[in-house]
Amino acid sequence: MVGNLGTLLQSARARLYNEEGNSMIVNCLFDSGSQRSFVKKSVAEALSLKGPFETVNIESFGNISSKCLRVRRVKFWLTSVRDKSHKKQMVEALCLKKITDRLNVHLDIKRYSHFTSLQLAEDFTDLSSIFDVLIGLDY
């Protein structure tokens, strides 16, 4: 995913599974600045993800704002959308109403010849979407 200033963000599309095997495709952001992983509350509700509540302190970049929230911790599994090996990675994440604002980005991937030989996780067809999962340093 490309940010507003042309930075290629560490992101991927993945299939998210609940314990019963139901799944949906999600947009994931890998954030090495986050201590915890997060999933959108709407995704957790759509797949009936359950788990205990815990109180956490959410701080923004630069400690500009801080909120103490009671949120649900849920467990799910992620797999590659393209890889047929069906290897699943278990993830525990905290549910939040929103992870990021919408990124409106226009990228012509064909302009970057050094990407042509790589098998990228993102197909770059919908760069205006919002991230559903944030994978932090806990994974």
Domain segments of the chain as ranges: 11-135
Helix (H) or strand (E) holding 76: strand 66-80
pLDDT at 10: 83
Percent of the chain scoring above 70 in pLDDT: 78
Dihedrals φ, ψ of 39, to 5°?
-135, 145
For residue 12 the two structure tokens come to: 């991927």
Task: With beta carbons less than 8 A apart as the criterion, state whether 125 and 109 touch.
Answer: no
Task: With beta carbons less than 8 A apart as the criterion, state whether 94 and 37 touch.
Answer: yes
Angle at 38 between CA 32 and CA 42, to 5 degrees: 145
Q: What pLDDT digit, counting tens, does each position of 55-74 carry?
A: 999 887 777 788 899 999 99
CA distances from 16 to 25, 31, 49, 53, 80 (A): 6, 18, 11, 21, 9
Fold adopted by 11-135: Cathepsin D, subunit A; domain 1 (2.40.70)
What is the chain's mean pLDDT, rounded? 85
The whole-model pTM stands at 0.81
**Could you give the CA distance from residue 99 to residue 113 in angstroms, rounded to a whole number?**
32
